[in-house]
Amino acid sequence: MTAYVSVEGIARRYPGMTVFRDLWLEVRRGEFVCLVGHSGCGKTTVLNILAGLDAPDDGAVIVDGQEIAGPSLERAVIFQSHALLPWLSAEGNVAFALGCRHPAWSRVQRREAAREALARVGLAEAAQRRPAQLSGGMKQRVGIARALAIAPKMLLMDEPFSALDALTRGALQDEVARLVAEADQTAFMITHDVDEAILLADRILLMSNGPEARIAEVVVNTLPRPRTRANLHHLAGYHALRDHILDFLLSRSRVRPERWDPRAIPSWRPTTTLPPTP
């Protein structure tokens, strides 16, 4: 299967410092990919480049056969801090996005669709409330509703739950898992929460520390679906997966092997069920 999204040799530099260079990665259609790494390694920069909010100094990003040139409705972003427009209600925020996606729709159509999107994230009664009257979790749910309502080709998420408390975070993670599965949505998420990555992702990319960060390893998540927070830690292979990733973050993220091919990143999968792939 050809990659739906192909990141080819992108680099990002600032005066005196290279964040990363010669970065290659792929996302297949319907796949959920997580990028995990320490703070400051450049994960958000990668996401911004994928979203089109930032332009790479070298290389290109190809989505569905076309090189991207700037932000697009096809690549919806869920921001770390919800980024809702505070003068609009929850419904208004989603309707705004729908208006951008479907300029020909009437106000009534937009509002109906907005209400539907909010119902899907469980916020039907809070539709008329302004962001100031919503809790953190609810605001982020509106952000999710807004992003999904426009049916993008790819969903980009920048540590979307890191600003929330643990309980809310858990609830939302389950929601996102469900919604993404329902819509067969291609998704790319940045996180530093290992459990979150294991819960949601099909493949987990491990990013080394910056500067000159690289994707050190690709971890294939073989745990069976459907996965929820409740059953996750009972699944076979969970602990091996988790240990492996934690090891990376705690010790191997600073390692730089001598012979390194950015296009052939080593892959790893937990060995409980299947023999390791070379």
Partner 1 sequence: MRHDPAWRAALLSLLLLAVLLGGWEIAARRGGGAGAAVDPDYAALVGAAAAQGGQTPFPKPSDIAARLWGLLRDPFYVRGPNDQGIGIQVAYSLLRVGTGFLLAAVVAIPLGFLIGMSPLLGAALNPFIQVLRPVSPLAWMPLALYTIKDSAVSSIFVIFICSVWPMLLNTAFGVASVRREWLNVARTLEAGRLSTALRVILPAAAPTILTGARISIGIAWLVIVAAEMLVGGTGIGYWVWNQWNNLSLADIVIAILLIGAVGLLLDRALGALARAVAWQE
User: Applying CB under 8 A, which residues contact partner 1?
Assistant: 51-53, 70-73, 75-77, 79, 81, 83, 85-87, 96-97, 100-101, 130-132, 150
Judged by beta carbon, residue 155 or residue 205, the one nearer partner 1 is 155
Query: Angle, to 10 degrees, between the axis of helix 90-101 and the axis of helix 107-120?
Result: 120
Integer CA distances (angstroms), 45 to 4, 55, 70, 135, 187, in order: 20, 9, 14, 28, 17
Q: Please, which residues bridge with residue 62 across strands? A: 6, 67
CB-wise, 3 or 150, nearer to partner 1?
150
The rounded distance, in Å, linking the Cα atoms of 89 and 77 is 19
Which one-letter DSSP state was computed for residue 277? P
Q: What are phi and psi of 207, to 5 degrees?
A: -105, 135
CA distance 183 to 178: 9
The smaller minimum CB distance to partner 1, of residues 38 and 153, is found at 153
Residue placing its CB nearer to partner 1 in the complex, 131 or 170:
131
Q: How far is the CB of 44 from partner 1 (least distance, A)?
A: 12
Q: How far is the CB of 230 from partner 1 (least distance, A)?
A: 33
Which lies closer to partner 1 via its Cβ, residue 18 or residue 81?
81
Rounded to whole angstroms, how far apart are CA atoms 189 and 77? Answer: 10
Residue 210 has phi, psi (to 5 degrees) of -85, 180
Cα separation, 146 vs 179, whole angstroms:
13
- Judged by beta carbon, residue 24 or residue 96, the one nearer partner 1 is 96
Beginning with the edge strand found earlier in the chain, give each strand of the sheet holding 154-158 in spatial order: 75-78, 154-158, 186-191, 32-36, 203-207, 215-220, 267-268
CA–CA distance, 170 with 66 (Å, rounded to integer): 36
**At its nearest, how many Å lie between partner 1 and the CB of residue 188?**
14
Instruction: Output the smallest distance, CB 106 to partner 1, in A.
Output: 17
Contact status, residue 238 vs residue 232, Cβ threshold 8 Å: yes
In the complex, what is the shortest distance from the CB of residue 81 to partner 1, in angstroms, rounded to a whole number?
7
Closest approach, Cβ 274 to partner 1, in A, equals 39
- With CA atoms as reference, report the closest residue to 90 among 65, 61, 121: 121
Work out how close the CB of 88 gets to partner 1 at its nearest, in angstroms, rounded to a whole number: 8
Closest CB to partner 1 among 3 and 83? 83
